Amino acid sequence: MSNPAQDLTLRYTTSQQELEDLVVARQKLETQLQENKIVQDEFDTLKDDTKVYKLTGNVLLPVEQFEAKNNVSKRLEFISKEIQRCEENIKGSQAALEQMRAELMKAQQAAQA
Amino acid sequence: MVDLTKLNPEQLSMVKQQFDQELQHFSQSLQALNVARNKFRECKDDIASVSKLENQKQELLVPLSGSLYVKGHMKDTQKFMVDIGTGYYVEKSDLEATEFYDKKIAKLNQESVQIQNIIKEKSQSSMAIEGHIRQAAIKLHEEQANSAPQGAQPKAN
């Protein structure tokens, strides 16, 4: 196998790995999104005077309800943005892989000819 | 959907492998669901037993670490801190907390039924594919058996 072809294969495998990592990150974000959504739904059903605590280390610290609500909705916003960013990266990575696959095929055909 | 009868045994077994992988994934999810459901059920039982009237002022040992305890007593057996996720806890009465867990359990039950249906479907498909593999193998065998004597004839001449 010639050197450029070897290079291409190597780049292809690293890109594949990158795509896989992105997909894993996307799944993690989805889990976080769902969990925060559940928390937000629960917050929405609370009475105004219900006490809310946050687990910090091993201690439950009281927090203001509105603060907790704000915090969770901000987190949801952030996670949604991250998901968008991640999906764009995935699309880019897939396109790059597609292109490399085409190049690889061409190289293979050239080698056979 | 691909026509399974047109695939060769090798392709079929690849499809089957994919189905089996998905099947395994769903079985794991189902197991995780059941574990979560049991945890919620335990929480419900705990609420029921702690909120009993005779438990007012009940003495207990409070763990400070895994091997260090101090004596204490129940101050309020009608209020519970419920973990609602991402580190947030909410104060609930025994009734509210039980309701909370009932809702969670109902939701998990629903999802469990869904997953069970998917598993049933997938395992049926997996079995069907296995049947196709067998048929394809038999067909291949017959073709080879039929073509072998024909291939041998010209040699004999």
Residue A25: C-alpha distances to residues A21, A29, A91, B148 (Å) = 6, 6, 14, 55
> Across the interface, which of A35, A46, A60 has its CB nearest the CB of B85?
A35
Q: Confirm or reject contact between B66 and chain A (CB < 8 A).
A: no
Q: Is the pLDDT of residue B1 over 60?
A: no
Do B74 and B60 touch, CB atoms closer than 8 A? yes
The reply to whether residue B88 touches residue A46, judged by beta carbons under 8 angstroms, is no
CATH number listed for the domain at residues A4-112 = 1.10.287.370
- For the entire predicted model, the pTM comes to 0.78
Do B76 and A39 touch, CB atoms closer than 8 A? no
| Range in A87-101, B53-67, B103-117 with the lowest mean pLDDT | B53-67
Domain ranges of chain A: 4-112
Do A51 and B90 touch, CB atoms closer than 8 A? yes
pLDDT tens by residue, A7-43: 888 999 999 999 999 999 999 999 999 999 999 999 9
Of residues A53 and B5, more confidently modeled: A53
The reply to whether residue A53 touches residue B81, judged by beta carbons under 8 angstroms, is yes
Reported confidence tier of residue B148, pLDDT bands at 50, 70, 90: low
Q: Which residues of B touch A46 (CB under 8 A)?
A: 90
Q: Is the pLDDT of residue B51 over 60?
A: yes
ipTM metric: 0.77
Q: Is the pLDDT of residue B152 over 60?
A: no
CATH match for B23-31+39-135 among 3.40.50.300, 3.40.50.2300, 1.10.287.370, 1.10.287.110: 1.10.287.370
Q: Which residues of A touch B (CB under 8 A)?
A: 35-36, 38-39, 42-43, 46, 50-56, 60, 68, 72, 75
Q: Confirm or reject contact between B86 and chain A (CB < 8 A).
A: yes
pLDDT tens by residue, A43-64: 999 999 999 999 998 899 999 9
Predicted local confidence at residue B144, as pLDDT: 87
Predicted local confidence at residue B136, as pLDDT: 84
Rounded to the nearest angstrom, the minimum Cα separation between B124 and chain A is 28
The reply to whether residue B88 touches residue A55, judged by beta carbons under 8 angstroms, is yes
Q: Is the pLDDT of residue B135 over 50?
A: yes
Q: Is the pLDDT of residue B7 over 80?
A: no
Do B71 and B61 touch, CB atoms closer than 8 A? yes
For B75, the 3-state DSSP assignment is: coil
Find which of A35, A49, A53 to mutate to test the B interface (most B CBs within 10 Å of its CB).
A53
Q: Please report, as a single letter, which amino acid is at residue A10.
A: L
Q: Which residues of A touch B87 (CB under 8 A)?
A: 54-56
The reply to whether residue A53 touches residue B85, judged by beta carbons under 8 angstroms, is no
Of residues A85 and B144, more confidently modeled: A85
Reported confidence tier of residue B20, pLDDT bands at 50, 70, 90: very high
Predicted local confidence at residue A8, as pLDDT: 86
